[in-house]
Chain A
Amino acid sequence: MDRKSVMKRRLQSIVIIFVSMAIFIVIWWALSIYFDLNYFPPPDVVFEAFFDSFVTPDPNLGITMGQNIEASFARFLEGFALAFVIAIPLGLLMGFMPWVDTFAKPIVELIRPIPPIAWVPFFFVAFGSFWNPVLTVFIGVFFPLLTNVVLGVKSVDPSLLDAARTQGAGRLTLFTKVIMPFSVPYLMTGVTIGMGVGWMCIVAAEWIAAVGGGVGYYILVQQQVGNYPYMFAGMIVIAILGLLTVTLSGYAEKMIRKRMGML
């Protein structure tokens, strides 16, 4: 494809995205006017609340939306980091050593179907309001990471392993020089999925309590006092944060795949 047609296609996409967003907002507007419910505010009211939430501290929390985002984001990163340091070594081992896989799999498969949110009431009482959201994010991110790392290790091309072996690579070298690098793109797929799940977890986990605020906690508080435009503003913040992190991680995933010649 030449440069011109690429540009043309890009422009087309931009126009379509613009139209789709416009239609979304018009439908939202129409529905909120049609139903005329006070708890379903129209877009202009929500956008006004959205911008105001960054400027005016919330009367209940005494902090602005920026500070709530900071609190949630820190928790999100902590949960993510925890999942990272546990899921990656475990996943590599499970993929590399069959007995570890056989040993860990029943436990993993038993816990994996439990929605992260179902852990919230237990985590809250067992670990307190600081660790509860962190651990909930951890659970949400851990399993997509783990399964993708295991998949990555298991997908290593046997001819690559043979080639390395004929050149005298031992088990450790195989593991560090072939298997680990090969599973990175798979790991990144897990990271991208985890990014999406992580934000869903944090909102629900903050619903019981959150030290230093948080966007999930913010949403709950606005519901309780009946400040629905601000509640929707909080929902939009979560949407933007989720979109940003997933897009960034998706981009990183693509770059890594490209560098490793997998695209």
Chain B
Amino acid sequence: MVAVKTDFLESNPDLVARMVRAHIDADLWIIDALEHPESANYTLLLQMGATFSARSTEVVEAALEHIKYSFELTPEVLDGFADFTEMFIDLNQTSLGSYDSIDDFVTDFVNDTMITAALSVQPSDEVLGTIDLGFLAGDLHQFARVVAMNSTVGGGKTLYETYGLNVVAANPAGYLNGGAVMDAFAGGAIDVGYLGAPPAILKKLNVGTDIKVVALANSEGSAILAREGINSFAELENHTVATPGPSSIQHLLLLFYAEQQGFQMKLEGT
């Protein structure tokens, strides 16, 4: 998803709307390319993915089959945010603090007006402002960011440039996890960031890092990779599993699914 620091959003709503517009255009470009595997755009998409994720085009193609790209903050998406929040509360990872309810929190967590505002944005030849952007290292979920930064897609200009934005990557190699992106927000290093919902929820509730979700980037696309010979979740029994960290969506989903399947997870060596 795309998140913006709340004070940046309040003082620069136009820049944020432009950012969201570039994101939407990139998203639609990806969806269109995926629907036309014979097109030049599809080939370009795979090449871009291979370059920034440092994987082969075959790996990127296989990954793309499982990721659903969309930008809309639908009621289902908001329900998902509420579910994550509830899971974290159940896991004793966080509490609602001053929020009255989970819905109350989700309402404060999301700002869906930027998507509407983005639709009326016009291209600009003039540079209207600079945005410091943070994102995760090699994460195909955040493909829209890569596409929006590619000048071939925008016809000699990046999509950000098309909408009058000077977008600067605060950490060009990408942050290691969403927790780090949230810290980049808190430390003032970035104005806009691509990250997963769980770390954003945790850090907003636990640390009060003030951000708003202005668009979705993807849903689904998290997978468990296993050594050869392990072909089902049940076969993971007594094996060691690694995740991108306790605040990641992968970690949360693993905990949730393991419990649902009647397994107990514990720290290796304890």
A225 at the interface (CB under 8 A from B): yes
- The answer to whether residues A224 and B93 also contact, given A62-B266, A213-B269 and a CB cut-off of 8 A, is no
Q: Which of A207-233 contact B (CB under 8 A)?
A: 209, 211-213, 221, 223-228
A61 & B206 in contact (Cβ 8 Å cutoff): no
B247 at the interface (CB under 8 A from A): yes
* Bound: A129/B240 CA distance, A: 11
A38 & B267 in contact (Cβ 8 Å cutoff): no
B246 at the interface (CB under 8 A from A): yes
Chain A residues closer than 8 Å to B266, beta-carbon distance: 62
Chain B residues closer than 8 Å to A224, beta-carbon distance: 177, 179, 199, 245-247
A98 at the interface (CB under 8 A from B): no
A102 at the interface (CB under 8 A from B): no
B208 at the interface (CB under 8 A from A): yes
CB distance from B244 to the nearest CB of A (A): 9
A90 at the interface (CB under 8 A from B): no
A225 & B267 in contact (Cβ 8 Å cutoff): no
Partner of A60, one of B208, B246, B269: B246
0/1 per residue, B241-252, Cβ < 8 Å to A? Answer: 010011100000
* Bound: A71/B199 CA distance, A: 27
Chain A residues closer than 8 Å to B199, beta-carbon distance: 224
B267 & A212 in contact (Cβ 8 Å cutoff): yes
Chain B residues closer than 8 Å to A39, beta-carbon distance: 183, 186, 207
B246 & A226 in contact (Cβ 8 Å cutoff): no
Q: Which of B236-270 contact A (CB under 8 A)?
A: 242, 245-247, 266-270
B98 at the interface (CB under 8 A from A): no
Q: Which of B61-93 contact A (CB under 8 A)?
A: 91-93
A63 at the interface (CB under 8 A from B): yes
B270 & A62 in contact (Cβ 8 Å cutoff): yes
B267 & A213 in contact (Cβ 8 Å cutoff): yes
B270 & A225 in contact (Cβ 8 Å cutoff): no
Partner of B247, one of A38, A61, A211, A226: A226
B218 at the interface (CB under 8 A from A): no
A59 at the interface (CB under 8 A from B): yes
Partner of B93, one of A60, A62, A129, A223: A60
In the complex, residue of chain A having the shortest beta-carbon distance to the beta carbon of B91: A59
0/1 per residue, B202-239, Cβ < 8 Å to A? Answer: 11011111000000000000000000000000000000
> Size of chain B's interface in residues, with CB distance under 8 A?
26
B182 at the interface (CB under 8 A from A): yes
Chain A residues closer than 8 Å to B91, beta-carbon distance: 59
Chain B residues closer than 8 Å to A129, beta-carbon distance: 268
CB distance from B243 to the nearest CB of A (A): 10
A67 at the interface (CB under 8 A from B): yes
A211 & B246 in contact (Cβ 8 Å cutoff): no
Chain B residues closer than 8 Å to A67, beta-carbon distance: 270
B209 & A59 in contact (Cβ 8 Å cutoff): no
* Bound: A228/B187 CA distance, A: 14
Partner of A59, one of B93, B182, B205, B245: B93
- The answer to whether residues A223 and B179 also contact, given A38-B207, A38-B209, A39-B207 and a CB cut-off of 8 A, is yes
Partner of A225, one of B186, B247, B268: B247
* Bound: A60/B88 CA distance, A: 11
B245 & A212 in contact (Cβ 8 Å cutoff): no
Partner of B270, one of A38, A213, A227, A228: A213
Partner of A212, one of B182, B247, B270: B270
A59 & B270 in contact (Cβ 8 Å cutoff): no
Chain B residues closer than 8 Å to A209, beta-carbon distance: 242
Partner of A38, one of B177, B202, B208, B246: B208
Q: Which of A9-66 contact B (CB under 8 A)?
A: 37-39, 59-63
Offer 15 A-B interface pairs, CB within 8 angstroms, sorted by A: A38-B208, A39-B207, A59-B93, A61-B267, A71-B269, A129-B268, A211-B268, A212-B270, A213-B267, A224-B199, A225-B93, A225-B203, A225-B206, A226-B202, A226-B203
Q: Which residues of B contact A (CB under 8 A)?
A: 91-94, 177, 179, 182-183, 186, 199, 202-203, 205-209, 242, 245-247, 266-270
